[in-house]
Chain A
Amino acid sequence: MDFKTFVFYILAAIMVFAALRVITARNPVQAALFLVLAFFTAGGIWLLLAAEFLAIVLVMVYVGAVMVLFLFVVMMLDINLDRLRQGFWSYLPVGALIGVLLVVEMALVLGGRYFGLEAMPEPPAAQAGYSNTRELGRLLYTDYVYPFELASLLLLVAMIVAVTLTLRKRKGVRYLNPSEQISIKRGDRVELISMPAEKE
């Protein structure tokens, strides 16, 4: 076993452990943190496969942005855990049966027989100076420009849906419009009335 394989097994073991803890952890904050760990180790495995750009993007986007947002949501919302766990034991036998069945069937196919090094030989190592990021960029803007543009529209759909479902104008809120406040003039607030002086 060379060093690369050794690192792979360590990363894979941590990842499987973290993934299991995501679904078994009792505390949702802990579960989210384990998901961060799983993403991190997945990034490590991609680095081993010489996909540097993807590894860094995974860490930056998922760990840096998505999971932090997720943690905030978990901490902000008051989730009643007991209600979530209701019916767990009654669903367990059926769920476990189907789960075990799926795992066994998948293991039969996904074992080393079809996905071992004989079936899928390792690609030749890239030359020095080969840039993963550059190649990805080239493909994205040439061959894959159609799905790339569509993906931007897909994000637009997500944005429209998110805004339209959450943006609402509340009535009866004591809200001051800052721009109106700033642009106010002296004359709007103070009224000078000239009146003749009176003697008592």
Chain B
Amino acid sequence: MNFVIPDFYPAAAEIFVAVMALIIMMATTFARRIARGLAYYLTQTTLVVAALITIGTMDGQVTLTFSNMFISDLMGDFLKVMIYFTVAIALLYGRGYLADRNIDRPEYYLLTLLMTLGMMVMVTSNHMLSLYIGLEMMSLSLYGMVAFDRESARSTEAAMKYFVLGALASGLLLYGMSMVYGATGSLEFSGIAQSIYHQAANKTVLLFGVVFLVAGIAFKLGVVPFHMWVPDVYQGAPTAVTLMISSAPKLAAFAMTMRLLVYGLFELAEQWQSMLMFLAVLSIILGNFAAIAQSSIKRMLAYSGISHMGFVLLGLLSGVVEGDRHFALNAYSSAMFYAVSYVIMSLASFGMVILLSRAGFEAENIDDFKGLNKRSSWFAAMMMIVMFSMAGIPFFIGFFAKLSVLQAVVAAGYVWLAVLAVVMSVIGAYYYLRVVKVMYFDEPTDSAPIRAPAEVRVMLSANGLAIAVLGLLPQGLMSVCAYALLASL
């Protein structure tokens, strides 16, 4: 028996977060009186320190450890740092909301941290098993967080739907994984890729497995026809949790797609690309049309999220054209850029919904934004930036995200797809602009002043301005995405 102790250094951030989660659990158990504040500040500190560790251990090289189950590369490091910041900002926005409803129990922050750990494991996995366990850790924490408001029947129902459908999706994913394992004899992504490359694997069985894998991925991304949970969960969950679901997990789901499909099954790109195309077209059409009919802003943002995920898929599906792989890097980096910019926009949009809510009042409907300009012209302007950016109006970050994805699609030769996406974005602009119209041209029905702690105001303003500034100077973030992928692929 020869076993070498694995190299822990590349996984330093994961180990740190795991240990901190345990420490916070014990600390909040014994210090009940200050538990809420303690859990919050310790969680934020953990996220910041984890970001420092990840940046500190980043060396731009691909390192494998833990019997090749863990991969440390630049794409993973970049996405991990984005995840820490997204989770930290989401916690900052949501704290007051949770406190108003008396659900800011220390367990919430503990679950957030364990969810972050799950996402980190997903992002750095090089093996089906670690990927799946990371996914379950993330999902299980999220189910619990959705149900966190025990008094609310709607949250409980949303959590139940999320849980049952999520379990079904996990089943599909596992079934697909077992088929791929059966065909290739490997659970490791590089091993799978090699087995397919040497044509040792049975292609029919492999494709059969890929169908299930894509179905599982589609559920986690929330794209049509696996989107049914998205509007109900977004609406039913406490807004702070909706903010959490709609942000960082999208990055983790993107990473999961990259690891499974691009790292493991790149040889089958032509096959899964056509599956993704089907999902993307349906998501962009249904997401934009269904969003028009919504009166609830949370549901509207849910459907808009579905169409945004369709755009991410557009980037992923234009990597390989008739065996030519020259476009791959460009296409995948455009998809990553889109996912990152969507997360920044999503944070700001749900942050605004939280800002308008207060104790005893839930801002849920688009009507609650009526006359926001008269109540606070600064935050009305911030919301306008977010809506313009989501609609893809130049010169905000959302515009460049759409542009780079569409460039990749056109380069891959799917001009009809690009035209369809543009037409659908124009239709989608209607419901984004409706929010702007309601804010600026309608009389306020609610005249309560907007109250929020200073740090939330500052962060929300910074978030809105980031969308505008990154829109003016998108090159930096774009090249970071391209560089991270170049060093990893």
| B69: A residues at CB distance < 8 A | 144, 146-147
CA distance A51 to B182 in the complex (A): 17
CA distance A160 to B115 in the complex (A): 12
The stretch among B53-61, B72-80, B141-149, B254-262 that forms the contact with chain A is B141-149
A154 with B133, Cβ < 8 A, contacts A138-B1, A147-B69, A161-B111 known: yes
Q: Is B234 an interface residue (CB 8 A)?
A: no
CA distance A142 to B110 in the complex (A): 29
Is A146 touching B204 in the complex (CB atoms < 8 A)?
no
Is A154 touching B66 in the complex (CB atoms < 8 A)?
no
Q: Is A136 an interface residue (CB 8 A)?
A: no
Partner of B70, one of A114, A115, A146: A146
Is A146 touching B66 in the complex (CB atoms < 8 A)?
yes
Give A160-200 as 1s and 0s: 1 = Cβ < 8 Å from B's Cβ atoms. 11011100100000000000000000000000000000000
Interface residue count on the B side (C-beta < 8 Å): 38
Q: Is A157 an interface residue (CB 8 A)?
A: yes
Is B208 touching A109 in the complex (CB atoms < 8 A)?
yes
Is B136 touching A154 in the complex (CB atoms < 8 A)?
yes
Q: Is A77 an interface residue (CB 8 A)?
A: no
Partner of B133, one of A147, A156, A164: A147
| A138: B residues at CB distance < 8 A | 1
Q: Is A153 an interface residue (CB 8 A)?
A: yes
Q: Is A119 an interface residue (CB 8 A)?
A: yes
A114 with B3, Cβ < 8 A, contacts A144-B129, A161-B140, A164-B105 known: no
| Shortest distance from the beta carbon of A71 to any chain B beta carbon, whole Å | 20
CA distance A144 to B66 in the complex (A): 8
Residues of A86-139 contacting chain B, CB below 8 A:
106, 109-110, 114-115, 119-120, 138
Is B111 touching A150 in the complex (CB atoms < 8 A)?
no
| B301: A residues at CB distance < 8 A | none
**In which size bucket is the chain A interface?**
20 to 34
Q: Is A61 an interface residue (CB 8 A)?
A: no
Q: Is A82 an interface residue (CB 8 A)?
A: no
Is B117 touching A153 in the complex (CB atoms < 8 A)?
yes
Q: Is A16 an interface residue (CB 8 A)?
A: no
CA distance A142 to B147 in the complex (A): 37
Q: Is B199 an interface residue (CB 8 A)?
A: no
A147 with B204, Cβ < 8 A, contacts A160-B25, A164-B107 known: no
**In the complex, which residue of chain A has the Cβ closest to the Cβ of B132?**
A147
Q: Is B18 an interface residue (CB 8 A)?
A: yes
Is A153 touching B143 in the complex (CB atoms < 8 A)?
no
Is B144 touching A150 in the complex (CB atoms < 8 A)?
no
CA distance A59 to B457 in the complex (A): 57
CA distance A114 to B184 in the complex (A): 13
A154 with B18, Cβ < 8 A, contacts A147-B133, A160-B25 known: no
| Shortest distance from the beta carbon of A123 to any chain B beta carbon, whole Å | 12
Chain B at the A interface: mostly helix, strand, loop or mixed?
helix
Residues of B184-209 contacting chain A, CB below 8 A:
202, 204-205, 208
CA distance A110 to B208 in the complex (A): 9
| A151: B residues at CB distance < 8 A | 133
Is B150 touching A165 in the complex (CB atoms < 8 A)?
yes
Q: Is A158 an interface residue (CB 8 A)?
A: yes
CA distance A142 to B107 in the complex (A): 32
| A115: B residues at CB distance < 8 A | 182, 205
| Shortest distance from the beta carbon of B259 to any chain A beta carbon, whole Å | 15
| Shortest distance from the beta carbon of A5 to any chain B beta carbon, whole Å | 21
| Shortest distance from the beta carbon of B77 to any chain A beta carbon, whole Å | 18
| B107: A residues at CB distance < 8 A | 160, 163-164
A153 with B114, Cβ < 8 A, contacts A138-B1, A160-B144 known: yes
CA distance A168 to B149 in the complex (A): 12
Partner of B18, one of A106, A110, A153, A164: A153
Chain A at the B interface: mostly helix, strand, loop or mixed?
helix
Q: Is A48 an interface residue (CB 8 A)?
A: no
Q: Is B6 an interface residue (CB 8 A)?
A: yes
Q: Which of A106, A119, A156 has the most CB of B within 10 A?
A: A156
| A156: B residues at CB distance < 8 A | 25, 114
| B136: A residues at CB distance < 8 A | 154
CA distance A153 to B117 in the complex (A): 10
Residues of B73-128 contacting chain A, CB below 8 A:
105, 107, 110-111, 114, 117-118, 121, 127
CA distance A106 to B143 in the complex (A): 31
CA distance A119 to B182 in the complex (A): 11
Partner of A114, one of B11, B67, B111, B202: B202
Q: Is B169 an interface residue (CB 8 A)?
A: no
Is B137 touching A160 in the complex (CB atoms < 8 A)?
no
Is A143 touching B111 in the complex (CB atoms < 8 A)?
no
Is A157 touching B111 in the complex (CB atoms < 8 A)?
yes
CA distance A95 to B173 in the complex (A): 21
CA distance A160 to B134 in the complex (A): 17
CA distance A188 to B141 in the complex (A): 47
| Shortest distance from the beta carbon of A193 to any chain B beta carbon, whole Å | 39
| Shortest distance from the beta carbon of A74 to any chain B beta carbon, whole Å | 17
Is A160 touching B111 in the complex (CB atoms < 8 A)?
yes
Q: Is A50 an interface residue (CB 8 A)?
A: no
| A20: B residues at CB distance < 8 A | none
**In the complex, which residue of chain A has the Cβ closest to the Cβ of B70?**
A146
| A165: B residues at CB distance < 8 A | 144, 147-148, 150
| A143: B residues at CB distance < 8 A | 3, 67
Is B137 touching A153 in the complex (CB atoms < 8 A)?
yes
Q: Is A10 an interface residue (CB 8 A)?
A: no
Is B6 touching A109 in the complex (CB atoms < 8 A)?
no
| Shortest distance from the beta carbon of A122 to any chain B beta carbon, whole Å | 15
What are 12 A-B pairs at a CB distance below 8 A? A106-B208, A114-B204, A115-B182, A119-B202, A138-B1, A143-B67, A147-B130, A150-B130, A153-B117, A156-B114, A160-B110, A161-B111
3 A-B pairs closest in CB distance = A161-B144, A146-B66, A164-B107
Interface residues of B (CB under 8 A from A): 1, 3, 6, 11, 18, 21, 25, 66-67, 69-70, 105, 107, 110-111, 114, 117-118, 121, 127, 129-130, 133-134, 136-137, 140-141, 143-144, 147-148, 150, 182, 202, 204-205, 208
10 additional A-B pairs beyond A144-B67, A154-B136, A165-B144, beta carbons within 8 Å, are A145-B6, A146-B6, A147-B127, A150-B121, A150-B133, A150-B134, A161-B143, A161-B144, A164-B148, A165-B148
